Amino acid sequence: MNVLLVSMPFGALDRPALGLSMLKAEVAKAGFACDVRYLNIAFAELVGCEEYRWVSSDLPYTAFAGDWTFTASLYGARPHSDAEYIDEILRRTWLLEEVDVARLLRIRELVPHFLDHCMHAVAWKNYQVVGFTSTFEQNIASLALAKRVKAKFPTINTVFGGANWEGEMGAALHRAFDFIDYVCSGEADDSFPALLRRLSKRRPSRQAAKFPPGVVHRTDGRTVFTGPSAPVRDLDDRPIPDFSDYFVALDRSSAPMVTAPILVCETSRGCWWGAKSHCTFCGLNGSTMAFRRKSPPRALEEILYLTERWRVPFIQFVDNILDMKYFDTVLAELAARRLPINFFYEVKANLARRHVRRLAEAGVSRIQPGIESMSDRILKLMRKGTTALRNIQLLKWCKEYGIEADWNVLYGFPGETRKDYDDMLPLLRAIRFLGAPSGCGPLRLDRFSPYHNTPKVFGITGVRPLKVYRHLYPVADAELAKIAYHFDFDYTADTDPHSCFEEVVAFVAEWRNNPEHGSLRAVARDGETLTLVDTRSDATAAEFRLAGAQSIIYRYCDELRSLAMIKRYLAEQCPGSEFDDESLVSFLASLIDNRLMVSDGANYLSLALTSASVVAWSKQAPSVVHSKAIAAGEAAFA
């Protein structure tokens, strides 16, 4: 049996499809021949790689513009629906300019030529099974090609899988399109090879005739789901993904002229934080939240193999969250090896300084720390398990160690209040120099999230598919609700946050358009004096000199500290200090007023970026500081 796995538009150009690359290795392990075709790269060649990237990366992804370009090739002409989509979705919802609407229509006109090319360029008759992966905007293109393949080669078994086909989505799509033979729902590492083994037997035994768990099939014209597949437990037992087909396709295209390839690597599945406290808006890990990781030796083996085999200078780990045990194992080894590679990882925001330093030493140049707000109360509504000050602390340390942090401001969570945003604004103003958020947008209700699973619990009502879905799938409303992944919704009267967040949204928009070019840095002049050099556009002074106990306090608050901790530390380090409770609080307040420090009312965090020498000195601060030095420092600061 020969198997073909297909990646259709609008899959990313700059990276191989990890799911297909892993399945190819699994299929080979099971004893079947397998090829992967990156037809998304072929489409990019036809329309132009810049145009392709514009659709796949620049247009709003919930507009599903890429999917829509293939609808006429799947359903035939639907002029009324197309006109509604252009007017309602592109123009009125996303405010797309007419020049961009025309640009999209030109791409759409090339779709039939692309599908004709696919039918002639691929030797379909050589394959008994053709599998399509679908994540984000790959559904309609994959369906359009599968329909043609099945019509011309009816004996080919068409199989679909990927994030868009998980759970009831896969069963509903299977019912809607009769040219789909099978769906592998959820993790297909075992179910897809098992399905191939069943299909390879001309006369399967009674036991082999049973479909494996995780498969949707058709019996007597009726869609049947065998139930969820068991999640993969031992990731060490899985083969290293085979990326060879991607690099062959990439080398034969002009894509490298507009985008640099990156590698993708998986070292864990699930989310250890989500298993403890599922973030209310997170729709990832629909099959299982259970955290599973590769052992450190196995993870290192794969990383080293991929870097040596493909010589690509950037690896993106697709893990939902970094395993904390990797800091002293995998990352420590990568730091020791000093590979000429940059890495990306998703992490939890409440890391210690030593963790950030280890990330930098290991070559992790970009992280996504799951920062979605700078309001403690909203973070609790999200169940994020962090605080605003911890988030800021991480951003500060990332800036010091040269790590780019991708973070967001999300708004519109049920139960938010105006006070949440009024309290957030001073923090955002104080941290402009740490870099603007990557994005700012409203809460999106996704399938598999707690908000979707139990909306009434959170004061959410009227859950329905986004309007765009009816332009993509002409099915009954009940079936559309099973196909959709993103949903519109309403708030109950007591949870509606309407008009609470406008000022913060406007501030972030201005921040993103006008980034802060100045900075705030701490310079250690000697053992007792710290100079804060403030070049920010809203600086109240160019320099602030902190001496004696002031310097000690500021250095100590490099990590967030409570007032009680500051008092205790000051008593230990400066037994002769003239700071009483009132003057200490006054001093901290003056730091906050000058945006040199931030506070949540109970904890304090210094904002100035420090060098390694400043941090090291803070750990061996002098035990006694003369009151004369303190007075001089207070005068200079005032």
pLDDT tens digits, 420-472: 999 999 999 999 999 999 999 999 999 999 999 999 999 999 999 999 999 99
Angle at 180 between CA 266 and CA 47, to 5 degrees: 70
Same domain, 211 and 286: no
Mean pLDDT of 371-399: 98
Q: What is the pLDDT of residues 465-481, one digit of tens each?
A: 999 999 999 999 999 99
Domain of residue 424, CATH code: 3.80.30.20
- The C-alpha torsion from 267 through 410 and 467 to 102, rounded to 10°, is -90
Query: Among 479, 513, 547, where does a domain finish?
Result: 513
**Is 620's pLDDT higher than 70?**
no
Q: Which of 606, 570, 262 lies closest to 431, judged by CA?
A: 606
Residues with Cβ within 8 Å of residue 402, at least 6 apart in sequence: 360, 365
As a whole-number percent, the residues of the chain with pLDDT over 90 amount to 91
The DSSP code for 363 is T
Neighbours of 58 (CB within 10 A): 10
Residue 99 has pLDDT above 80, yes or no: yes
pLDDT one-digit tens code per residue, 123-165? 999 999 999 999 999 999 999 999 999 999 999 999 999 999 9
Does residue 349 belong to any structural domain of this protein? yes
**Which region among 52-66, 193-207, 318-332, 513-527 has the lowest average model confidence (pLDDT)?**
193-207
pLDDT exceeds 80 at position 616: no
Length of the chain: 638
Integer CA distances (angstroms), 600 to 156, 202, 528, in order: 62, 69, 28
Query: Within this chain, do residues 10 and 130 fall inside the same structural domain, yes or no?
Result: yes
**Mean of all residue pLDDT scores within the chain:** 93
CATH of the domain at 203: 3.40.50.2300
- Position 209 in a domain: yes
Q: Is 104 among the domain residues?
A: no
Q: Is residue 82 part of a domain?
A: no
Angle at 601 between CA 598 and CA 607, to 5 degrees: 10
The domain that holds 544 is classified in CATH as 1.10.10.10
Q: Is residue 95 part of a domain?
A: no
Residue 365: CB atoms within 10 A of its CB come to: 16
Q: Both 508 and 613 in a single domain?
A: no
From 513, 547, 567, the end of a domain falls on: 513
More confident: 632 or 540: 540
- Structural domain count, the chain: 3
Q: Is residue 340 part of a domain?
A: yes
How far apart CA 632 and CA 342 sit, in angstroms, is 46
Q: Do 202 and 348 fall within a single domain?
A: no
Question: Does the structure show a pLDDT above 70 at 615?
Answer: no
Residues 272 and 361 in one domain: yes
**In the prediction, which pLDDT does 628 show?**
29
**Residue 635, pLDDT score:** 29
Residues 351 and 375 in one domain: yes
- Do 286 and 199 share a structural domain? no
- Residue 618 predicted with pLDDT over 60: no
Question: Average pLDDT for residues 353-370, to the nearest whole number?
Answer: 98
Checking if the pLDDT of 226 tops 60, the result is yes
Q: What is the pLDDT of residues 248-262, one digit of tens each?
A: 999 999 999 989 999
Question: What pLDDT was estimated at residue 210?
Answer: 87
Over range 310-334, report the average pLDDT. 97
Domain end call among 225, 249, 280 = 225
61 found inside a domain: no
The pLDDT, as a whole number, for residue 74 is 98
> Are residues 591 and 463 part of one domain?
no
Confidence of residue 625 (pLDDT cuts 50, 70, 90): very low
- One domain for residues 508 and 370: yes
Let me know whether 475 and 372 are in one domain.
yes
Contact 185, 225 (CB under 8 A): yes
Residue 99's CB: how many other CB atoms inside 10 A?
A: 7
pLDDT class for 204, splitting at 50, 70, 90? low
Longest C-alpha distance within the chain, in Å? 95
Domain span at 592: 520-637
Q: Which whole number is the average pLDDT over 88-115?
A: 98
pLDDT at site 506? 97
Q: What is the mean pLDDT of residues 64-83?
A: 98
**Residue 208 pLDDT:** 56
Q: Mean of the pLDDT values across residues 288-311?
A: 97
Residues 490 and 581 in one domain: no
With respect to residue 480, please indicate whether it lies within any of the assigned structural domains. yes
415 in the same domain as 386: yes
Using alpha carbons, list the distances in angstroms from residue 361 to 252, 298, 312, 404, 549: 36, 21, 19, 14, 33
